[in-house]
Chain A
Amino acid sequence: MAQRYYTETHEWIDLEGDIATIGITDFAQAQLGDVVFLELPPTGKTLAKGDAFGVVESVKAASDLYAPVAGTVLEVNKALTDSPESVNQDPYGAGWLMRVRVEGDVGSGLLDEAGYRAVSEQAH
């Protein structure tokens, strides 16, 4: 069973062993509005925690995506090239962005569901 965490920058992360699946939260997609374009990193890229790993662009704005953990990119969600709307429709499922092999500790700064709810309510 994967363990889900969140970031203050509105990414979610599912941890299963040392494999992390990463996306943006339902709150984030609702704030962005219709997603029209995504820029995701190449497979094999090494990310430090907090690195901008990609860009999500909606009709309203373009926003950087920040790596919640350090690691190596194993896979990105190629289906999003043709159907970026999955990020809006199913942010925790078909709208996932990438899988990463986590390096080192997951580290501090990640939030549980209650902690993230507090952050997103404050942002309202």
Chain B
Amino acid sequence: MKHAPEPLSFEKSRSGVAPPRLPEAGVPSRATVPDHHRRRRAPELPRLSEPELLRHYSRLAALNFSISEHFYPLGSCTMKYNPVANEEAARLPGFAQLHPYQEEASIQGALELMWRLEQALCAIVGVDRVTLQPAAGAHGEWTALRMIQAFFESRGEERPEVIVPDSAHGTNPASAAMCGFSVVQVRSGADGRVDVADLHSKLSARTAALMLTNPNTLGLFEKEILAMAAAVHAVGAKLYYDGANLNALMGICRPGDMGFDAVHLNLHKTFTTPHGGGGPGAGPVGVKVDLAPFLPRPTVEAEGGGYRFDFDRPLSIGRVRSFYGNFGMLVRAYAYILAMGSDGLAQASQDAVLAANYLRKRVEHLLHLPYAGYCMHEFVASAGRVADGRVRALDIAKGLLERGIHAPTVYFPLIVPEALMIEPTETESKATLDTFVETLVEIVELANSDPAALRGEPRSLPISRLDEVAAARQPVLRWSPTLDSGENAAADRSSPQGAPRQPQAVPAPTA
């Protein structure tokens, strides 16, 4: 049984408690911050005693629905176990206490780790160089597309289009649009794979790239990948690999060998670094040699027995992240790769595919599987036929949460109605997979016998059903603290005292 919802620390704040004491600033703020930018009063930080604050955060932590507590078959997200050994490596003082402005001579170990991680990732995906800067997968997509754009600009070629399958991750068209490309959609065929004839009709001298994930979001291997790569290259375009689904392929085959020119990886999926509360992630990008001059700078180079940053890269698209990326994540990923070795990585992918197929086979009498046959590391089922349509995928997702299992990804990919996208990963035992199936049996039985009861779940979690429609139509984006009646409030005459504690409803922005 979970705790009741925990109030905000601001709501628990008591005026009788002394305000928090902040350490002295490390920089002379008076000298560097112009007068009109300096605040007139101390920030309204919550006033809580240390034990109250500790309990507040401990309760919040207990409200988490996390991989450390629950099975988390969230398709496309590869929610695998985050090894504790990775954390120990990242906390080694030589890594954890580095300052980004240290001299190169004093950070040789960190540079060596970055260089060796680049070599390892190059070997795993079959590319020539890798940048470790991007902070997440979508950031990696954008970085790769920006490099492809710079490549064509350097050759004086105008190529304004990027082709994206209709089953693609939503970030693909978004990254292309952010980069200034227009997005051209290519259809999936009846077998759930890219319709190669449709692809041919969309490819032209205007095409900059085809963005593809393989296996695709249905968990199906794109068997025509070599023919597609040839077609893309025949019109002079580049082939981009969305690495979200690499967990099916490590040590078995390589995107670079399939003809991909640029590849992003999610260290927080495939390489066991934590997803955290949405971050920090790490989305390195690998490229073949002709895109390498456009890599973000600096790169890390090995030279004369040591390592150095190389800023002298005139064709670089520039820095895409402050300093050198989410370095702690790089340490964790490298620790994982070393611990696994090449055989271990291949075994991980094989086990991930085995686990997904085991689950797929065991749920086929419960859910509709629109695409027949073996899957790779994940599969997509439809809840559209459960209880003759009296419940939705959302209801099944909520039923799983009620029973201590994180919901699969729902309503994605868009080409499957009432989709449930299930990815167990290799780090779960058969016993856990069996519990998932038994739980799903229980939910489907409830859906048949009493669909209204299922639609009322979850009941034991601190938050029940959210009003998603009202949340989207009238999002509440601001919370205003009640101003304390003490000296701080008096110092700011422009703010109303005793402002109500209710959140302010802010209408959704219109385009």
Which A residues are closer than 8 A to B by beta carbons? 31, 34, 36-37, 39, 57, 59-61, 81, 84
Min CB distance, A1 to chain B, in Å?
Answer: 35
In the complex, which of the residues A36, A39, A84 contacts B511, with contact meaning CB atoms closer than 8 Å? Answer: A39
Q: Once the chains bind, are B472 and A37 in contact (CB under 8 Å)?
A: yes
CA distance A34 to B469 in the complex (A): 7
Min CB distance, B471 to chain A, in Å?
Answer: 9
CA distance A84 to B508 in the complex (A): 12
Q: Once the chains bind, are A36 and B414 in contact (CB under 8 Å)?
A: no
Q: Once the chains bind, are B511 and A59 in contact (CB under 8 Å)?
A: no
Q: Once the chains bind, are A59 and B510 in contact (CB under 8 Å)?
A: no
Could you say which residues of chain A place their CB within 8 Å of the CB of B469? 34, 36, 59
Q: Once the chains bind, are B417 and A31 in contact (CB under 8 Å)?
A: yes
| Interface assignment of B468: CB less than 8 Å from any CB of chain A | yes
| Interface assignment of B411: CB less than 8 Å from any CB of chain A | yes
Q: Taking A31-B417, A57-B472, A60-B411 as given, write out 4 further A-B residue pairs in contact, using a Cβ cutoff of 8 Å, ordered by the A residue number.
A: A34-B468, A34-B472, A37-B472, A37-B508
Q: Mark B484-511, 1 if CB is under 8 A from A, else 0.
A: 0000000000000000000000001011
In the complex, which of the residues A37, A39, A59, A81 contacts B468, with contact meaning CB atoms closer than 8 Å? Answer: A59
CA distance A36 to B510 in the complex (A): 11
Could you say which residues of chain A place their CB within 8 Å of the CB of B14? none
21 contacts between A and B (CB under 8 A): A31-B417, A34-B468, A34-B469, A34-B472, A36-B469, A36-B472, A36-B473, A36-B508, A37-B472, A37-B473, A37-B508, A39-B511, A57-B472, A59-B468, A59-B469, A59-B472, A60-B411, A61-B411, A61-B414, A81-B510, A84-B473
Could you say which residues of chain B place their CB within 8 Å of the CB of A31? 417
Which B residues are closer than 8 A to A by beta carbons? 411, 414, 417, 468-469, 472-473, 508, 510-511
Could you say which residues of chain B place their CB within 8 Å of the CB of A84? 473
Min CB distance, A74 to chain B, in Å?
Answer: 19
Could you say which residues of chain B place their CB within 8 Å of the CB of A81? 510
Could you say which residues of chain A place their CB within 8 Å of the CB of B411? 60-61
Could you say which residues of chain B place their CB within 8 Å of the CB of A59? 468-469, 472
Residue of B nearest to A62 (CB): B170
CA distance A84 to B507 in the complex (A): 13
Min CB distance, B461 to chain A, in Å?
Answer: 20
CA distance A60 to B511 in the complex (A): 20
CA distance A39 to B510 in the complex (A): 8
Min CB distance, B299 to chain A, in Å?
Answer: 37
Could you say which residues of chain B place their CB within 8 Å of the CB of A39? 511
Question: Which 10 residue pairs spanning A and B have beta carbons closest together?
Answer: A36-B472, A34-B469, A59-B468, A39-B511, A60-B411, A36-B473, A61-B414, A81-B510, A59-B472, A59-B469
Could you say which residues of chain B place their CB within 8 Å of the CB of A37? 472-473, 508
Min CB distance, A53 to chain B, in Å?
Answer: 13
Could you say which residues of chain A place their CB within 8 Å of the CB of B417? 31
CA distance A81 to B510 in the complex (A): 8
Could you say which residues of chain B place their CB within 8 Å of the CB of A57? 472
Could you say which residues of chain A place their CB within 8 Å of the CB of B468? 34, 59
CA distance A25 to B66 in the complex (A): 40
Min CB distance, B475 to chain A, in Å?
Answer: 9
CA distance A31 to B392 in the complex (A): 12
Could you say which residues of chain B place their CB within 8 Å of the CB of A34? 468-469, 472
Which of A34, A36, A61 neighbours the largest number of chain B CB atoms within 10 Å of its CB? A36
CA distance A18 to B477 in the complex (A): 44
Residue of A nearest to B185 (CB): A64
CA distance A36 to B468 in the complex (A): 9
CA distance A117 to B468 in the complex (A): 30
Min CB distance, A82 to chain B, in Å?
Answer: 9
Min CB distance, B100 to chain A, in Å?
Answer: 38
Could you say which residues of chain B place their CB within 8 Å of the CB of A60? 411
Min CB distance, B398 to chain A, in Å?
Answer: 14
Min CB distance, A43 to chain B, in Å?
Answer: 14
Min CB distance, A85 to chain B, in Å?
Answer: 8
CA distance A39 to B509 in the complex (A): 11
CA distance A95 to B329 in the complex (A): 49
Residue of A nearest to B466 (CB): A59
CA distance A84 to B469 in the complex (A): 11
Residue of B nearest to A84 (CB): B473
Could you say which residues of chain A place their CB within 8 Å of the CB of B473? 36-37, 84
CA distance A113 to B336 in the complex (A): 59
CA distance A36 to B475 in the complex (A): 11
Could you say which residues of chain A place their CB within 8 Å of the CB of B511? 39
Residue of A nearest to B474 (CB): A36
Min CB distance, A78 to chain B, in Å?
Answer: 10
Min CB distance, B312 to chain A, in Å?
Answer: 43
Min CB distance, B23 to chain A, in Å?
Answer: 44
Min CB distance, B112 to chain A, in Å?
Answer: 45
Min CB distance, B390 to chain A, in Å?
Answer: 15
CA distance A39 to B508 in the complex (A): 12
Min CB distance, A95 to chain B, in Å?
Answer: 15
Min CB distance, B3 to chain A, in Å?
Answer: 28
Min CB distance, B102 to chain A, in Å?
Answer: 45
